[in-house]
Each structure stands twice: as structure tokens, then as C-alpha cells.
Amino acid sequence: MTVRVHITRALSLLAIALSLATGARMARATDVSVYDPKKLVTPPIHKVTPAQPQRFVLPNGAVVFLLENHELPVVSGVAYFKSSPALVPDDRVGLASLAGEVMRSGGTATHPGDALDDRLAAIGAAINSGIGADQANGGFRCLTENTSEVIGTWADVLRHPAFPDDKIELAKVGLRRTIASRNDEMVGLLTRTASQAVYGKKNKYAREAEYATVEPITKADCDKLHAAVFVPERAVLAIYGDFKTADMKTLLAAKFGDWKASGTPAPPAVETPRTVTPKLLFAPKDDVTQSGIVITQPGSRADDPDYASLQVLEQGLGGGFQSRLFNKIRTQRGLAYATGANAGSDYHRPGVFLAYSLTKSESTMVALSLLREEVAKVTKATFTSDELDAAKQSVVNGFVFNFEDPSQVLFRSAFYELNGYPLDFLLKYQKDLDAVTAQSVLEAAKRKITPEAQVAIIVGREKDFDAKLESAGLSVERVDITIPPPPHQGPEVKATPEARVQGQQWLAGAAKLAGGSSAWAAVKTVKITTAASVSIQGQNISFSGEETWKLPNKQVAVQKLPFGEVKQGFDGRSGWMSGMGQLQDNPKAAEAVAKESERSLWRLLGEPAKFTLVALDAPEKADGKDYRAAVVEGAKQEDLTVLFDEGGRLAGVAYHDEGSPQMPAARVQELMTDWRAEGALQYPHAMKVLRDGKVFLDAKVTAIVLNPVVTDDMFVKPAK
């Protein structure tokens, strides 16, 4: 008995000892109530007064903010400037990004880009530059010991960028790659489509750099943009870190003091649409298992009276773990990893409201309808008091993070200064936040969110969707995301005087062989009848045609196709077409006729002296034969080339065709044979057209009338 008691007691003592040693496990087994966060009392927050930057203005108008901080041996700074997308012409989109990059990569006369790269790398410093839509920046960061040198270089880069050609070309190489890959990743495609949906494709904020807009950018374009943006009277400089304010003032005066105000006008503002037409935009992307979904509309500015309420709304709708979208779409249904919303408040311009979700292809339409439902709900009923508390408190209690790092106060001040916001904007916002109620959120939502006028966007693999796009009840518009190909690059032409003489001789010889240029020049009108067969998509279609010209540019042509007659005309000013009971304008006729006229035999052979032909060293191959080739200098169409056979006869023309929605771009070769006498001249009675080397059209001339009587009204669009 006693023994047992002892053993029992020993065991229990051991147990106590063990429980002391492994208190952790015991606590877990016994009581977790200590972990109840709801029982905690929140102590008052420490009051810390953040250091305020010093502000002053240089005589040239540049505003400077300085804030010392000696915790780390580093100095960093930024210069902000106003910009505007209006400064970039429509045919130079990509200029802002290119010029922003080349400012730094190309360096200056005293600090060429490559040398700058090496020097900054050697001292562990960085200088950056960039030009955005509304704002341009140039920044630096360096160790304390290099402050003077780096600020000097930074000022030089801001003020005197060299924009050398080789770095412009290097930036173009980068932009070309960016364009080529812009449909590769889902999120990029989705945000681009959203921006175009809200602003409209042609709005200056939504324009996209294309090969055709990047190629023509020159140093002169960069200089012009730089001169309009980087001026001292619209500069705000902010410098932070390990320096003495008095020394820094002296340094800045030395580096920026002689920078003269430009007196140029402020970059113009660009209007953005206030509303959008409701629809569903669909952009196809087949290499995905997940769809990207967005609903969007124009947003508002940060100085809008609803700003504080909208921030709380964003938090509650899609701003974090506690938001409705996160709960409904992610947590409760497992439909998405990424989902949320942005209220669309921007400092520079009305922003873009967005609600988004990425979900598997098979739940695309259900996720879209959930998104729409949740967005609509916030405009119809108030948040519950619990939701409002959660959303509001997360913003209110998180407010202190605006002062987490002393540099935030500095850079924020500079940003407000540049964009015309009062320096106490944040404090005003804090007051507004306190006043936000469930009702004010609802009212702001009603004013700013219009579920009946939003665009829905889906990017994904349609065949895997859970329902038809039309099931959303919106008009469906399919977006063409094809990237326009780069402008055609022809063979390199070496325009030596010898090559010009040679080209001219070839053409003169060919004109002689065809009856002499005066015989060709004597033709003022012509009517040609042909029988042709054309190969389209593996099918051969035969047709006959008749075209009448009043040279150089009035034209009417009738083609009798298996499915009916098509007539086209151009009266020297405007074009038209008719067929199958339809009559319509053809705005593209002017350009097409001008090009056709330029490469016509009547001009090449009738006015050979008006052309400058440059003979090429290499022959051009067409339909299995080599021809002598000469390029027409200054032609309206790209790569207009005239081909000659061994006997010196004109054998055809070749050019680059940009293509159309029905027809891809191609190198076109028109080969002419079977030359026969027609009056005083020789005319080719057979023609073969090749596109990218493949036979596309075969035609025989069945009749030709020189100088027939024509009337001007033949070419004019018929009344009906």
C-alpha cells in the first residue's frame, strides 16, 4: 500500500516536474482562452511628431523640400515635373517612355551613358529617369560620401540629356520587344483592355505604342519633349537623408541656380470621358486555364468630396481579407486566388474604377455575375455597421503608416506641391474619414458607381466557359488584340550616283522598247478588258473585268464575279463602290488609286524622267526567275521596285502591300509579259500577281482601247 502510495506520489511529482519542464504542452491542453484577442484592451498610441521638411523656392521657380535623417549613411532625392500625354503626338506614341529611359541611358555630353553606368556601379549609386502620362521623375540614391558628385550628375541628366542615336535605337529594341509580348501575360492584356474601355482607344491616356509609332521617333522628338517637361518653374525637388541642410542648399544653388526659367506654357490637360456605354468586351486568349474578369467605369479625383467615403467603400467591397469580394468569391466559393476592387481615385485625373477576379475558365461567367452582383449591392444598400466598422477602422487605424518612415512626409509634400494639392491634404482627409458613415458611403457609391453603365471585360479561353458570353445580358463586343505588324523594312538601298545613273538608263531603255515615252505620254484615257482568275484561300475564282481611266487618277472599274457585279470608282476626290444592291463610300480609294497610278505603266513609261530609280546590286527573284531590280526613290508606296528582264524590257513592278482585314500584308510582284503592239506603243497582254512569292492572280487582256471618249460623270458616285 505505502509503496504504492509512494509510487503514485512519485509519479505525480514527476508529472508536475514534467509539466513545469514542458509547460507549453500543458498550457495547450488546458487553456487556450488566454489567446482570446477580443478580451484585450488597446492602450493609447504613442504620440510621435514627425519631422517636417524644410521648403524653399529657388529664384527660377523650382520648389525644394529638404529633410535630414542621419540613421543611415545614404542620401536620396527626386525631382518631379508636370507632364501631359498631349505632349506626345499620335504618330509618336512610345516617345514618353523612350525619352524617359534615354535621358539616363544616353547620359549627357559630360557624362555619356556608358561611362555613367560604369561610374555609378563603381560607387554603388543609382540615377533614374522616367516620363509618365501626367508626371515625369528623375531620382538618385547614393552613399553619403558621393553626395556632391551624384547630385551634380543628377542635375546634368535632368538638364542636359544628350539623347544619342545609339541609345534611342537601344530603347527602340526594348520597346519592340514590349510590343511583341504585350499579349503574352494575362494581367497586362486585361489592364490594357480596361484602360481602353474606359478612356476610349483613341484617348491620349489609352494610346498604345505600336511599331509604326516607335520607328519614326528621333532625337529631335526627345529634345522637344524634354524641353517642354523638364523646366525649373514646374520642378519640385525633394532630398532626404544624411546631409546638412545648409550644405545642401549651397550645393543645389550651384547645380540648379543657373537653370533659367523657360517661360513655356504648362502642359495642357487632357479630358477623359465621364461615362461609358455598357457592354461586354471579350479578348480571346487560348493559352490559359484561367480567365481574367474586370468590370470598370470612369472614377474620380482624390480631391473629390466623396474621396474619404470611397476609400472606405473600396476597403469594404474589395480592399482586403475582410472585404465582400474576398469573402464571397475567394473564401466561400474557392473561385479565385486574386479578387478585389479599386475605387478609382487618382490624384492627376479621374481614375478608373475596377472590380476584378481571376478564375478558372469553367467558372468565368458565374464569377462575372458574382462580381456584378456585389458591385451593384453597394449602390443599393448600406454596409452593415459591422462591415462599416471593419472597413473604416482599417483605414483609420492604418493612418499612422503614412508616417512610418520620415521620408514619406517629404516625398508626399513634394508630390502634393507638384499636383496642386494643399500640403495638409492628408490631415484634411483624416478629418473627412472620421465623418464617414454607412450612409455617406452609400451616397458616394450612388454618385460614383453606376452598375447600369459599366463595361465588363473577359480575357480567356471561350470554349471552356461555363456559359455563353451573351448570357451576361450585355451586348458582346469582341476585341481584336492582333498586334499591327511593323512597317515593312525593305532591302538596304545603296543610293550611289552610279546606281542612280544605272536605274535611269534601265528605265529609259525599257520605255524605248515599249514604243517610246512620247507614245505612252500621248495616252490620256484608256479602257482595258481582262479575263482573270484569282486564288483566295485555296479556291480559284474566275472573273472578267473592265476598267476605264482618265489619267492620271480618275478611275471606274467593273468586275463580274460569280456572285454578282461589283463596281468601284474614284472621281479624283472621293471613292465609292456598289454591288449586290449596296452603294457606299470608299474612303480608302484615294490612297489606293494614288498608289496604283504611281506604279502604272502610263507614268513609268510615259514620264520616265520624273522618277529616280536606284539600281540594286542583287537581282529580285519572282516566279522562279531573276530580274534586274531598281527601287523608286521617294515613292509613296513602300519599296516600289521596277523589274527588268534580260533583254532590258520592263518586266513588272513590286511593292510592299500593308494588307487589309481580309488580306495579310505581303510583298506583291506584278509580272507582265506577252507585249503586243497597240497603236504606237507595245502593251503587255498577260499579267501575273504574286503575294509573298505565291501566285495570287492571273490575267489576260482581252481588249484595249486607247484614248476612248470619257465623261467626268462616269467616275462620280451614282445617285442610287
Partner 1 sequence: MPTSRSYPGLRHLLMALTLIACTAAFAAAKPAPKPAAAGTAPVHTGLENLEKQVQEFTLANGLRFIVVERHQAPVFSFFTVVNSGSANDQVGTTGIAHMMEHMAFKGTSLVGTKNYAAEKPLLAAEETAWSALLDERRKGAHASEARLKQLGETFADAQKASNQYVVGNEYTKMIEQAGGQGINAFTAEDITAYFYSLPSNRLELWAALHAGALVDPVFREFYKERDVVYEERRMRVESSPIGRLFYEFITTAFSAHPYGFGGIGYPSDLKSFSRTQGEQFFKRNYVAKNMTIAVVGDVDLAQVKQLAEKYFGAISDAPAPPPLDTVEPEQIAERRVLLEDKAQPFVLVGWHVPAASDPHYAAYRAAADLLGGGEYSRLYKALVKEQKVAVQAEMGVGQPGEKYPTLMFAVLVPASGQDPEKVERAAYKVIDEAMTTKPFTAEELDGYKVRVRAAKIGAVDGNSSLAGELAQSQNLYGDWHQFFREQERVQELAVKDLLDVLKTSVKKSNRTVGMIQNPAAAAANEGGH
Residues from 276 through 315 that contact partner 1 (CB under 8 A)? 286-290
Q: Which of 85, 106, 107, 139 binds partner 1 (CB under 8 A)?
A: 139
Site for partner 1 in 218-247 (CB under 8 A): none
Q: Nearer Cβ to partner 1, position 127 or 519?
A: 127
Q: Residue 680, SS3?
A: coil
CB of 171 to partner 1, least distance (A): 7
Find the DSSP H helices in 535-653: 589-598, 601-606
For CA atoms 523, 527, 528, 534, give the dihedral sign.
positive
Q: Could you say whether residue 383 binds partner 1 (CB under 8 A)?
A: no
Unique residue bearing C-alpha cell 453603365 = 453
Min. distance of Cβ 314 from partner 1 in angstroms? 13
Q: What is the closest distance, in whole angstroms, from the C-beta atom of residue 118 to partner 1 in the complex?
A: 6
User: Looking at 57, 122, 618, 677, which residue binds partner 1 (CB under 8 A)?
Assistant: 122
Nearer Cβ to partner 1, position 140 or 520? Answer: 140
Residue 448 or 667 having the CB closest to partner 1: 667
What's the CA gap between 459 and 145, in Å, rounded? 51
Of 631-690, binders to partner 1 (CB under 8 A) are 667
> Does 563 interact with partner 1 (rule: CB under 8 A)?
no
**Residues 6+ away with beta carbon under 8 Å from 332:** none
Q: Would you say 483 or 663 has its CB closer to partner 1?
A: 483
Q: Does 703 bind partner 1 (CB under 8 A)?
A: no
CA distances from 281 to 460, 479, 542 (A): 11, 6, 40
Cell of 119: 561610374
Gyration radius from the chain CA atoms? 36
User: Is 125 an interacting residue with respect to partner 1 (CB under 8 A)?
Assistant: yes
- Choices 7-15, 126-134, 542-550, 575-583 (CB under 8 A): range interacting with partner 1: 126-134
The reply on whether position 34 binds partner 1 by CB under 8 A is yes
> Minimum CB separation from partner 1 for residue 50, in Å?
7
The answer to whether 452 touches 278, Cβ cutoff 8 Å, is yes
Asked if 358 and 367 count as a contact pair (C-beta separation under 8 A), the reply is no
As measured in angstroms, the least distance from the Cβ of 145 to partner 1 is: 10
Closest to partner 1 by CB, 326 vs 576, is 326
Q: In whole angstroms, what is the distance from residue 379 CA to residue 278 CA?
A: 17
Within 442-501, which residues bind partner 1 (CB under 8 A)?
491
189 binds partner 1 (CB under 8 A): no
d(CA 105, CA 101): 6
Q: Which helix (H) or strand (E) holds 641?
A: strand 641-644
The strand order across the sheet containing 352-360 reads 339-342, 352-360, 290-298, 455-460, 279-284, 476-478
Build a one-symbol-per-residue string for 520-539: x at contacts with partner 1 by CB under 8 A, - elsewhere: --------------------
Taking CB under 8 A as the rule, does residue 44 contact partner 1?
yes
Where does this chain touch partner 1 (CB under 8 A) — which range of 199-207, 321-329, 557-565, 567-575?
321-329
Q: Write down the least CB distance from residue 49 to partner 1, Å.
A: 10
Q: Which of 112, 126, 366, 700 binds partner 1 (CB under 8 A)?
A: 126
Q: Cβ-count burial of 370 within 10 angstroms (0-12 exposed, 13-18 middle, 19+ buried)?
A: buried
618 lines the binding site for partner 1 (CB under 8 A): no
Least distance in angstroms from the C-beta of 403 to partner 1: 5
* 8 Å CB contact between 516 and 675: no
Answer left, alpha or beta for residue 186, where phi above 0 means left and psi between -120 and 50 means alpha. alpha
Strand partners, 405: none
* DSSP single-letter state for residue 421: -
Does the protein bind partner 1 through residue 273 (CB under 8 A)?
A: no
| Residue 675: CB minimum distance to partner 1, A | 27
The CB-of-12 to partner 1 minimum distance in angstroms stands at 22
Confirm or reject binding of residue 426 to partner 1 (CB under 8 A): no
By CB under 8 A, name the one of 12, 22, 110, 673 that touches partner 1: 22
Q: How many residues bind partner 1 (CB under 8 A)?
A: 109
Half-sphere exposure of 583 toward its Cβ, with a 13 Å CA cutoff?
6
Cβ proximity to partner 1: between 101 and 571 the closer is: 101
Position among 331, 384, 533, 673 found at the interface with partner 1 (CB under 8 A):
331
**Which position among 218, 385, 393, 496 is part of the footprint of partner 1 (CB under 8 A)?**
393
153 counts as binding partner 1 under rule CB under 8 A: no
Long-range contacts, stretch 607-612, CB < 8 angstroms, 24+ apart: 607/517, 607/521, 608/504, 608/507, 608/508, 608/511, 608/517, 611/507, 612/500, 612/503, 612/504
Restricted to residues 353-372, the positions that interact with partner 1 (CB under 8 A) are 358-360
Question: CA nearest 372: which of 328, 334, 438, 308?
Answer: 328
624 lies in the site for partner 1, by CB under 8 A: no
Pairing outcome for strands 339-342 and 54-57: unpaired
